Amino acid sequence: RRLLRRPELEELFGRYSGEDRVLSAEELRDFLRDQGEDASLRQARAIIRAYELNEKARQQDLMMLDGFMMYLLSAAGDILNQEHTKVHQDMSQPLCHYFISSSHNTYLIEDQIRGQSSIEGYIRALKRGCRCLEVDCWDGPNGEPMVYHGHTFTSKIPFREVVSTLGKYAFKTSDYPVILSLENHCSMEQQEVLAQQLKAILGEQLLTTTTDGRVPTQLPSPEELKHKILLKGKKIGRLEDTLDGLGDEAPDASDDDNGAEAEEERRRVKVGGTQHGSALQKDKESLAQALSDCVIYCKSVSFRGFQEARSHSRPSEISSLAEAKARKLIRDAGNEFVRHNAWQLTRIYPSGMRTDSSNYSPQEMWNVGCQIVALNFQTAGTEMDLCDGLFSQNGCCGYVLKPAFMRDEETLFNPSDPSSWEGPGPITLTIQVISGQQLPKVANSKDGAIIDPLVRVEIHGVPADQAHQETKYIENNGFNPRWDETLQFQLHVPELALVRFVVEDYDKTSRNDFVGQFTLAFANIKPGYRHIHLLSKDGTSIPPSSLFVHI
């Protein structure tokens, strides 16, 4: 019992309960009001009935210290707004109005050169709420297309296995559509096999025509596409040709993740000049009609500038950009990028140099409204914490509605230009870091080693909001460290801000060791006294480790 004592909660309890050390329903109501919760007597009584352990107290609508602690440690006392942990956003807007949880080279579970390719990669990503998966297809033996990272030593898995895994796990975590991004390097014969396997294995789940049989003027919504799998890839001709059952144009060259091919593609396009230059592609580059017909809303096209897209492109087309290209566009044409993403999908993928499967920061891509920001899900770290943090809301369904100013094609918003932001001016976020509970030891530490914990709070958002502050470290106490320090941040664009709480073990001679973290969108933070339940490096929970803060 002594071990479970929480002096800071006793102080808080005493502040509201007064002399008698018992909370009446009225006193609890005052506490709820200060917490920004529904503060009615009815609610206070309901909480007492749910959390008070002592039968007598419960009957008299009174709450003792233990019940109060139970309440603050429950989901109701969590920093993450529990209302937002179910699907609560409008799901009837066009796909391009959402951030979409997306994975890069999903079949890899290690690095990009020698790593294992595995079905496990798809299962893990889907369980984590990922909605855009990637598959690289190459000709395999006996007419069976294989999935692996071309020109490397990564192991291979049959395409049909990937597709059946997809069919089985696609909608276990979320009902909303899955986009399968197909990198197709197969011969004509094996492309036919790809199309055949997709149709045979996925059946009704594979989307093979528009939702209403007409050519769309805008993308359909996640709601309309529930339980559907969409293929993203090259397409012969235009969508109306598929709907009329014809198609004769050669496919567009598309940006390709794999450096060497992309180079070759760019050279070819330069030689051919215009888009029709791509008709000069070698025969092996041509596309099987059956596979082309499976691509409806996500036709891959090369990006040739925002003006060009505005005049010649359409909502059902999508370009892929490497991270460096995207960064340059953000620097040179931030506002145009935001406008473009209000009507068309953009996919961002990691640089080919990241052979170790490291990740880039997704935040700067989200700041301009890019929807499909593909990360290496197998690599733990800040970038995946941000991804898990953003998508932990809205029922973990893999779709998060973008703020209103990013869904307007005439928006003036530019993340790096403060004069373009509308709004009441900066919001002040004040975080009092009070205490920690039962923090885990650092992996591979010596026996009997005790951590010296500190807490760092990071703000990830538009450049002007990026910031971090940390508390001092507490020597030799991972059990119940007490910081009582106040950190303060100014947020100019709170709608895009993510807040990351990190606990580290201070080390004066080398880098601090990671202990635990929790990340969430600013929009999902509840004010008042809150517990933060920490997650380990790979995003899994580590009960009963927590932080106690006041927001």
Task: Report how far residue 502's alpha carbon sits from residue 454's, in angstroms, rounded to the nearest whole number.
Answer: 8
Helix (H) or strand (E) holding 453: strand 453-460
The strand ranges marked E within 117-250 are 132-138, 146-147, 157-158, 178-184, 229-233
Using DSSP's 3-state secondary structure scheme, residue 253 falls into coil
Task: Report how far residue 212's alpha carbon sits from residue 203's, in angstroms, rounded to the nearest whole number.
Answer: 19
| Residue 499 · residue 439 · CB < 8 Å | no
For residue 535, what are the β-bridge partners? 517, 541
| Residue 435 · residue 483 · CB < 8 Å | yes
Task: Report how far residue 301's alpha carbon sits from residue 319's, in angstroms, rounded to the nearest whole number.
Answer: 5
The answer to whether residue 276 is catalytic is no
Q: Cβ contacts of residue 158 below 8 Å, gap of 6+? A: 140, 144, 145, 146, 147
The reply to whether omega before 544 is within 30° of 0 (cis) is: yes
Residue type, 492: H
For residue 492, what are the β-bridge partners? none
Helix (H) or strand (E) holding 65: helix 65-73
For residue 322, what are the β-bridge partners? 349
Of the listed 84, 97, 149, 185, which one is catalytic?
149
Of the listed 84, 88, 97, 104, which one is catalytic?
104
Instruction: Give the Cβ contact number of residue 481 at 10 Å.
Output: 24
Nearest to 515 by CA among 500, 496, 528, 534: 534
Q: Cβ contacts of residue 87 below 8 Å, gap of 6+? A: 394, 395, 397
Annotated binding site for substrate: 232, 234, 320, 347
Task: Report how far residue 523's alpha carbon sits from residue 111's, in angstroms, rounded to the nearest whole number.
Answer: 34
Nearest to 199 by CA among 226, 248, 160, 237: 160
Measured N-to-C along each axis, helices 7-17 and 65-73 cross at an angle, to the nearest 10 degrees, of: 120
The answer to whether residue 550 is catalytic is no
Question: φ and ψ at 337, to 5 degrees?
Answer: -65, -45
Class of residue 509 by CB neighbours under 10 A (exposed 0-12, middle 13-18, buried 19+): exposed
Annotated binding site: 105, 134, 136, 183, 232, 234, 320, 347, 450, 452, 476, 505-507
Instruction: Tell how strand 298-300 and strand 317-322 pair up.
Output: parallel
Annotated binding site for Ca(2+): 105, 134, 136, 183, 450, 452, 476, 505-507
Looking at the annotation, which residues are catalytic? Answer: 104, 149
